[in-house]
Chains A and B, each alone.
Chain A
Amino acid sequence: MTRRTRRTETPESSAFPTRPYDLIKEATVALVLVALLTAGLAALFSSPDEQPVALGSWSRADSADFTATAVSELGGTSTTARYGPPYNHTAGAGQKIGPVGLQSLAGVRIPIDTAEDFVLQPLRRAPEPAPVTDALAGWNAASPDRQQAWTSAYSDALGTAPDGDPAQVAPGDYGPVPVLTARLLELAQSGALDGELLTEGGQFYQTDYTRPLLFLGDGSYFEGLARSRHLAGDQWGMMNETGNYPGQPWLWLYTFWYQIEPFKSSDNADALVWGLMALLSLILILIPFIPGIRSIPRWTRVHRLIWRDYYRTQQSPRRPG
């Protein structure tokens, strides 16, 4: 028998000498140990529970950012408005892995029209003061180019106003945009917008927070809060959570790729990292069949530490003479 043949054959474990073992006792001791350790850690460290950000709290804390975001939603220039699938059709949007665009292939399955869903519909569903009714009529009667010109001009004006304050915007041709966004700000500050974005479609029971979360994510206030808590993507944030808690350390490798080139600066970073992690996961699953990788344990010889008692007995007088 060649040495190679010997290596490929693993004897049945039942052929080896045995020792007494109590499976149930071991499992019980382990369960009690883990339960006690968990109870101790929970009592000692508790768990994080920072209040969520509502559209109401955002609009009250940073009305300028809320207004600027509302203008971008109305004008179709926000991140969500230009996201592409699965929210909308946007030319050139959608990440790719090489020539493969899985994002586009999946299609638009969660349709979002930011102007209609985030601004106009909530305004129509709330009590309408006369100026708002007129503003809505004026907006609807205008051409898309005209609407675009109004939102663009008002967005620029907000950008140059002191503190982005809508009350200090220089006079200009903004059409009905200031009236619409001012009313939306009122609704948000009263807390009404949170409920309206959830119940669009007329459902009473609702558990889908896609719309309010996308709106929230389009502003800079939300990201600012996350960044101050070291949760941003370039701060290894995807594996962290608020406070001094371990978060999801098992995502370290996934998060790691976002910190280095070429992923860090790539427009397709998410798709590339996901593609890479899918490949690595597949390799991990298939290690038993991959020559070279499956031999690493033999080369590293960590196994000789794990089974040191066994190998020690094998070195003793196995073959005298």
Chain B
Amino acid sequence: MSTDAQTPGHGWTAAVRRRLVAALPPEKLLPDSQPAFMASWVYVFGVLTVSSLAVVLVSGGLLALKGPAWWHVSAVGKYVNSLHLWSVELFMFVLVLHLWAKFFMAAWRGRRALTWMTGVVAFLTSIGTALSGYVVQQNFDSQWISDQAKDGMNAVGIGAFWNVLDFGQMLMWHTVLFPVVICLLSGWHVMLVRLRGIVPPIDAPTPGTDQVPPGQEERA
């Protein structure tokens, strides 16, 4: 019996587990140390983006508890809607700062192109999610924004399938499909960051070698 317990597991489950643990061992998934070059406030925007997304999801979930019309007739509902609005504003603000920071860090270097691409697609998906949220507010804003947005959608054929004037369709996309896609993309993005590690500074030589960053040769 003890021999069985010590042999490696067989089957698909064991194989997947072995691959996952090999790719992302616990100390890499939840690290308690980071490269010393990671010393800038710029890095804060990534974790702030994830935190804002959490507040967006929770406040949206609270709105969903009582249905889409609740916040029009309840002071508590109005406050929860305000939480949702401002968490979205914060989310988009820190997300854009994170995106710009990663651009100027050329954070796609070192086999990190997919990390960049999942981040940008998550950003674009967030824009669509926000639009679907604005058109399901059930007020003057949602009427006007949907009336304007339909022309853009229709002009490229999207409106024939994704009708911003159809409240039911937009509500389902906003509360189900878009959040699922954003969470999957965000999870994938964060996993890639953990998998590849934090991108080193531009032109940084491998520590321990005698390479010198370009632009500093004259000093060397």
Contacts and interface: CB of A to CB of B under 8 A. Distances in A.
Interface residues on B, range: 35 or more
Contacts, number: 309
Interface residues on A, range: 35 or more
A11 B104 contact: no
A31 B113 contact: no
Interface stretch (B10-18, B119-127, B175-183): B119-127
Interface string B150-172: 01101111111101011111010
Interface in B183-220: 196-208, 210-214, 216, 219-220
A43 B79 contact: yes
A33 B140 contact: no
Nearest to B29: A23
B79 to A, nearest CB: 6
Max chain A C-beta neighbours (<10 A), residue from B134, B141, B196, B213: B141
A222 B141 CA distance: 11
Given A225-B140, A226-B144, A274-B152, A46 B204 contact: no
A109 B36 contact: no
Contacts of B171: 207
A27 B50 contact: yes
B152 A241 contact: no
Given A281-B124, A319-B212, A102 B157 contact: yes
A148 interface: no
A273 B148 CA distance: 14
Interface of A: 1, 3, 6-7, 9-24, 26-27, 30-31, 33-35, 37-39, 41-43, 45-53, 83, 85-86, 95, 97, 102-103, 105-110, 207-210, 213-214, 216-217, 222, 225-226, 229, 231, 233, 237-238, 241-242, 245-246, 248-251, 268, 270-271, 273-275, 278, 281, 284-289, 294, 296-298, 300, 302-303, 306-311, 314-315, 318-319
14 contacts: A6-B211, A13-B197, A30-B47, A35-B55, A38-B55, A46-B82, A47-B81, A50-B139, A110-B163, A251-B127, A270-B152, A285-B120, A302-B104, A310-B39
